[in-house]
Structure 1
Amino acid sequence: MPQLPEFFATQHNLHELAVLDEAPSSTLFAVEDGNTQQQLSVEIFAPEITGVVDKSTALHGLHHPAIAPLVGTGTTADGQEFIVREGVSGTQLSELPSDLSREEAADVFGPLAGAVDFLISRGRADFAVHGLREARVGVDKQRQVSVLAAAGPSGEEHGDAVAAFKELVARKCPEYKPTGTAESAKDVVAYLRPERDFDTAQIPRVQEPEPRPQQQFAPPQQPQPQPMAQPMAQPQQPMAPAPKKKGKGGLIALITVLAVAAIAAAAALWFFLSYPSWNDKEQNLADAYPDLVGSRSGQDGFDGAKCSSREPEPGQEAKISCVGDGFNYIVTYYPSVEERDAMLPDAEPVELSNDQCTIQSFETTADVPTYVMAVEGTQSAFLVWGDKAEEERLNLPLCAS
């Protein structure tokens, strides 16, 4: 069994948790950062494999929710090249049974299909093939969010990315029979999904802002004075104070402690009721855009906007609406990149670029400034509107983290 070289502990404070996968060209380790306790992965390449560090610089420009982000690269004391990526939560695809139904397989492989097609569109099909190994795919507990844990360069010859994806699906879903008709990974997943109709009246046709979302639960009631917790509120007798009785102080202290505990419990309950957690699909958006939608429903998104869960439209998997000062925005998630693209306006977009990604911005006809925005190759779309929308759209953190 391979072991993480001592170099990583002494030089980088990275400590081995497990060996995730061993292949002829590289070994993938799960590690923990001793400084931050963050889980990461370290891929160490065989001594004869060189040049991957230089090739891995392309990962800096490849941002997708189903691709583990690059953290850093380097060379060990023995001269072996390595890549460090963010860790993937959940379990490995190899741990899932090999008899998934078509519906289960569609949920598991849907996000991966978007990542594979995204890499192909960027001329990095070899990065996808390198990551399409069962032990190098992370899947959440609900089997609805999957991530390529080690997409990137390889020292080996690579085949066709779509063919590799089909083979991976076939190994986990016996009902899937590979055919030569699939031209993209999305086509493979489309075979697994039952046919459904899509409503074309999606966000590009919104004509007016949605009303301010109501909080899902009533605001907490102010704590009412409790007679037991307020011993000084007891009616006083019109006579001289009675002599002290032994044991009274202990009883009052106990009552006070219980009252404080009750208030703390009520506050905790109020927090979880007022700020419910996102569902699995919404959490996928929250993980990809933490500065845009917040960690829980009802909490702040970008620039103080309040975000809450919304019922997805037909063809969408998740929808989160946020209301800010002079601007509002909606974040939506689609089953695939192609289904997201089909919902975008049929117009030439304005491209907005930063050092992380390129954003497509479409201006639509509405009573207030309204923009549909998307990042090429992702499954998310954004609707921004309001008096300040034209300015705020330039500041929104729309590049997936």
Structure 2
Amino acid sequence: MLNKLFLAVFSFFALSVPSFSQSFDLNSAVLPELPAVKAPLPYGPTPVTPPGVTIAVYSTDETVTFESQAKPAMDARINALKAAGITTLGGRVVELGNDYSFVIDYIPTVKNGAALPPAIIVETYKNGASYWLDSEAKETMNACVSNFRAAKLPVLGSYLYDVGSDSAFAVDYLVKNVLRPTQEYDVKFENYTGGKFTFESEAVKNVPAYIALFKQAGVPAIRGKAVARPDGDYAVAVEYVIKTNKYGARPQYSVSRYDSRETFTFDKEALKASKAALPAFANAGVPPLSAVVRPEGRDYSYSVDFLVGNIYQQGGVIPSVAIETYQAPETFTFDSEAKKALAEKAAAFSAAGLPVVGSAVTGELGSFTYIIDYVAKAGQQGPVYPQLPR
């Protein structure tokens, strides 16, 4: 028994001692991997990577037969874009089907303060009236165009269109876009289509005239071409460039409408009164556009469309002018007395710089009174009386 125990102990030491007896070398020692410790960095601002410059590509549907023709056309277009205030980065000729075209790299933004491209909006005015005679519609349209131009708003074109068996008119005009100030503005290419021509050659002939209209208004026109209309005729399409931003359109002027209180038995009487009302608005410093006759029960009245300047403030937009209403506090036995008092009050309003554009005597025997509609400008104080709901 003792012999067996001795042999077991001896075998353990005989096998283990060589391992313990090996020499220890610090250079050959392998240390276990330890987790990295993040040392605190010195205090400083968070690094910001400046945004890269966005590059856009201008392309066109224009084609030429030979590659040698595309290069001069591209160079001419680059010059046109530069003249419009756009920074170009060169271009290249590309194949387009069996023909050749070109593309141009450009920066689609401009800095605040850049004169070009301009901030404008193309608007279309329609008064909503229909005319039995084309001649009457055309006469009203021409007068409306003159009123736009008198208000210093460039007119691009005007035209008649069908409303059932009657005719109506429309006027395309330019108005300044009062952009909200930002450090940069976006460059945007737009297209305007106008005119109506029976033959394509007529449209082609009128392209320079339409381009000239844009240039006279200070809007860079990049190119123009003849295009087919849905009705089978032809029109002129003009490509132009503007600047804008994400805050949307803010037109310098808007169209407002005044509904007269006067009533007439016949529509011809209302039409005559409506034409007489236009100079009254102009004399009041409110640019009129056109007047329309409207039914008022079994009688007729009229409405006047006029331009209002928009004053943009942080809280919204304030109209430069408004039509306010004065309700006389007194009553009269006879309408003649009310008419006399109305005339005196209207003269007093005009003398106070509150032009009168409309009025009416209302009531019945024993309780007649009168109402005055007058022009009030932004910041101008009118009479402190209860306003009559319209």
TM-score range, shorter chain: under 0.3
TM-score computed with the length of structure 2 as normaliser: 0.21
Q: Quick check: which has more Rg, 1 or 2? A: 2
TM-score computed with the length of structure 1 as normaliser: 0.21
Of structures 1 and 2, the one with the larger relative CO (CA 8 A, separation 6+) is: 1
Bigger strand share: 2
